[in-house]
C-alpha cells in the first residue's frame, strides 16, 4: 500500500519503499547507530545491513491516513540507548516529513544489538 495525496494539481503516490528508505537514511545519520538490522533476529544474532539496503531495517505501516514507522537498529557499545532512540525518533520524523510533506504519527525504535566500534 502507498500513501496517496490528491490536490487541485493532481495525484501524488508515495510508496512505502520511499518512506522506508528516507527513514533509514535519517536513522543512519544519528550518533551511536552502528547500522540497521533485519526485522527478524535469526538464532539470537542480529544481522547488520549495508547502506544499499537501508529500507530492510524499516517497517512502514499506513492505516487510516496515519503513518507508523518501526526502525530496527544496532547501537555502539558505551552509548546511552535511550538518548540514541530519542534522536532516531526525532530524526526519522523530521526526514520523512521534510522530504515528503507527510506527518509521521508514531516511530518505534527496536534495538537489535550492541556492537563494539573500533
Q: What is the tens place of the pLDDT at every residue in 20-29?
A: 999 999 999 9
What's the confidence (pLDDT) of residue 47?
60
Q: What is the CATH number of the domain that holds 57?
A: 3.30.70.1350
Strands 66-76, 104-115: parallel, antiparallel or unpaired by DSSP?
A: parallel
Query: What pTM was computed for the model?
Result: 0.84
* 69-104 per-position pLDDT tens digit: 999 999 999 999 999 999 999 999 999 999 988 889
Instruction: Count the domains in the chain.
Output: 1
17, 55 Cβ separation under 8 angstroms: yes
DSSP 29: T
What's the confidence (pLDDT) of residue 54?
73
41 by Cβ neighbours in 10 Å (0-12 / 13-18 / 19+) ranks as: middle
Binned at pLDDT 50, 70 and 90, residue 43 comes out as: very low
- Does the CA dihedral 36-85-68-15 come out positive or negative? negative
Domain assignment of residue 106, given as a range: 3-115
What's the confidence (pLDDT) of residue 5?
81
Amino acid at each position: 500500500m502507498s500513501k496517496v495525496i490528491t490536490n487541485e494539481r493532481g495525484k501524488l503516490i508515495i510508496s512505502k519503499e520511499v518512506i522506508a528508505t528516507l527513514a533509514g537514511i535519517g536513522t543512519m545519520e544519528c550518533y551511536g547507530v552502528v547500522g540497521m538490522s533485519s526485522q527478524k533476529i535469526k538464532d539470537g544474532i542480529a544481522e547488520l545491513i549495508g547502506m544499499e539496503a537501508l529500507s530492510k531495517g524499516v517497517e512502514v505501516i499506513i492505516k487510516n491516513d496515519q503513518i507508523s514507522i518501526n526502525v530496527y537498529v544496532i547501537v555502539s557499545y558505551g552509548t546511552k540507548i535511550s538518548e540514541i532512540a530519542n534522536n532516531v525518533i526525532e530524526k526519522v520524523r523530521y526526514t520523512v516529513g521534510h522530504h515528503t510533506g507527510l506527518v509521521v504519527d508514531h516511530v518505534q525504535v527496536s534495538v537489535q544489538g550492541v556492537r563494539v566500534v573500533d
